[in-house]
Structures are given as C-alpha cells and as structure tokens.
Amino acid sequence: MQSHVAHVGGEHLVIDQVHFRFDTTLPIYQNLNLHIEPGEFVCVIGPSGCGKTTLLNLLAGFMTPDQGHILLRGQPIYPEDPHLGFVFQQATLFPWLSAVENVEFGLKMVNDKPPKQQRELAREYLELVGLKGFEDYLPRRLSGGMQQRVSLARTLVTQPTLLLMDEPFGALDAITRETMNDEMLRLWQELGQTVLFITHDIDEAIYLSDRIVVLNRPPHGIYRELKNALPRPRSGPATRTHELFWEYKKELMKDITQVAMSRRSDNTIG
C-alpha cells in the first residue's frame, strides 16, 4: 500500500502559550509551548497527575485553552478535523460488529465513498495491521492485541495526518506490547503520520520516538525535551541493548523521579 498521508511544510502541530485550568481550580498549564514537525514521532511521559490526559484532550479539541492557541496545519484544532486521529487506551470496539464493520464505522463518519469501496478499504487496512483472515471475527473472539489492531486500523483508515495515542498498548502483556511497538513503527514508517504518543513506559518512549517530552507538575508544563538519536530502523534486542538506549533510560528515570518527588503546586490531577 502506498501512503495516502500528505506531508505538509513547516510545523504540523503548534501549541503556543497555552493556559488551561478546570473551573476555579489552580491552573494545569501556564504558557505551554510545543511545536511538532510533519512526520515526527513524539512521546510524552511523566508521573501521574502531570497533565498527560489533559494535554491530549486539548490537542483533540475536546477541551479549549483559556489562553493561547493550538494549531494543526495552521488552523485551530477541533474534534471532527479529518486530519486528526485518536487512539484510546482501550480498543473501544462495538461488540456486535465484526472487525471489518468496526473499521468501516470510522469511514462512514468521514467518507463519501460508496459502501463497496468502504468495505474494500476497511479490508485493506485490516491487512495492513496484520489481521487478514480475521475480518469477520467479532471482538470477543480476538485477543487484546488484535482488538487494539482493529482500533488502530479504524483510525488509520480515515487517513489522518496527526495521530494522538493515549497509552494504546498499556493494557497489553509485555510480549504483546513489544510486538505492537514494532508494528507501530512499521505503520508509521509506511504511512508517514505525525504521532504524539502518551506512555508511562520509558522503554516504550525511547524505542518509538524521535523526541521525548517529559511533563512537569502543574502548572509548569514541560520539564525537559530529549532528542532521540537512536538509529533507525529500530528492531528488538539490537535497539534495546544499544548504549544510547541505556543512557536515555538512566536520564529519563532520573527526570521522572525528580518530577514525582517535587512539591506539587496544586491538588489538581490531569
């Protein structure tokens, strides 16, 4: 399959001087800034309560900044933006629909192709995520990893240019998670989307990313950005035993510990 995702010039996602608070609580973010380039894979990590989920909700347009701007391809972001795709922590499949019907559901929301073409495209993307032969299976007959592949196919089939991923492999066992990491890299290299990927797993962040963003306690935003120089393509033990991998892991564990032990500025969890 050839990529249907068009790269754009300049910055793809811009978070500019964003301020946000819940109602009358103390702020979650003050003057948050982050720029992501087209095709870049950025992982966001940080201890619980640092605002990772809040950040994703802002980026998806589910919540609106009190001040500042969030721009996708130079335009204000909104939930129905066809350039935006969201993959949740759980597969969130319709249990009464087959795998191919679940993927088709995403197309029906944004696509004006006739039903036959929608079915063909849904099958194509199930094959892309390694589920050829499982098109007619209901979710209950699929493993957790397979269900998450269906969820990923449902998002990818709409051909977004930005993927927001909220710990999509966090509920999987370690072996399946590593397999899905490899699959994620294969799909990213083939399709070329810009990815912002939330994770609690430092190893996962290092393995996947071009850049790692460590979030601070509210309302301080970004604690550190680490440019990941691990060579690509990446594969299994060769990458995970690379000297840089262990250097990054040591640095990031130190960062996370310092953030976790720092005095909270408020009682808000994001």
Judge if 181 and 241 occupy the same domain: yes
Question: What is the CATH classification number for the domain harbouring 38?
Answer: 3.40.50.300
Segment 77-86 mean pLDDT: 88
**31/150 same-domain check:** no
Q: Is residue 88 part of a domain?
A: no
Please tell me whether residues 186 and 257 are part of one structural domain. Answer: yes
- Say yes or no: 175 and 49 in one domain: yes
Using one digit for the tens of pLDDT, what is the confidence trace for 41-70? 999 999 988 999 899 999 999 999 999 999
Q: Which residue has the higher pLDDT, 270 or 22?
A: 22
Contact (CB, 8 A) for 60 and 71: no
Q: How many domains are there within the chain?
A: 2
Kindly state whether residues 47 and 169 are assigned to the same domain: yes
- Measured CA to CA, the distance from residue 48 to residue 198 in angstroms comes to 12
Residue listed under structure tokens 């935006």: 84
Query: Among the listed ranges 3-12, 132-141, 187-196, 213-222, which one has the minimum average pLDDT value?
Result: 3-12
Could you tell me if residue 101 is inside a domain? yes
**Looking at 159, 179, 206, which one is the last position of a domain?**
159
> Based on the domain organization, do 166 and 255 belong to the same domain?
yes
Contact between residue 43 and residue 204 where contact means Cβ atoms under 8 Å apart: yes
In a domain, 268, yes or no: no
Residue 212 has pLDDT above 50, yes or no: yes
Q: Is residue 217 included in any domain, yes or no? A: yes
Provide the pLDDT for residue 6: 41
- The answer on pLDDT for 21 being more than 50 is yes
106 lies in which domain range? 94-159
- 100 and 201: one domain? no
Report the relative pairing of strands 13-20 and 67-72 from DSSP bridges.
antiparallel
Pairwise CA distance, residues 43 & 22, whole Å: 25
Average pLDDT, the chain: 89
Residue 181 shares a structural domain with residue 77: yes
Selected residue with higher pLDDT from 79 and 120: 120
Please give the pLDDT value at position 48: 87
Kindly state the average pLDDT of the residues 226-241. 93
Burial class (CB in 10 A: 0-12, 13-18, 19+), 136: exposed
Q: What is the pLDDT of residue 108?
A: 82
* 269: in domain: no
* Co-location of 174 and 41 in the same domain: yes
Q: How confident is the model at residue 171, as a pLDDT? A: 85
Among residues 113, 142, 159, the one where a domain terminates is 159
Given this model, what pLDDT does residue 10 score? Answer: 55
C-alpha pair distances (Å), 261 with each of 28, 232, 250, 265: 18, 34, 17, 12
The answer to whether residue 218 scores a pLDDT higher than 50 is yes
Q: What average pLDDT score do residues 70-96 get?
A: 89
Mean pLDDT of 114-131: 93
Element (H, E) at 251: helix 243-261
**Do residues 116 and 194 both lie within one domain?**
no
Same domain, 34 and 152: no
Residue 5 has pLDDT above 70, yes or no: no
CA distances for 257 relative to 178, 217, 252, angstroms: 24, 12, 8
Is the CB of residue 93 less than 8 Å from the CB of residue 151?
yes
Whether 67 and 177 share a structural domain:
yes
* Among the listed residues 126, 236, 96, the one whose alpha carbon sits nearest the alpha carbon of residue 187: 126
Inside any domain, residue 270:
no
Of 123, 144, 159, the position where a domain reaches its end is 159
How many C-beta neighbours within 10 Å does residue 175 have? 9
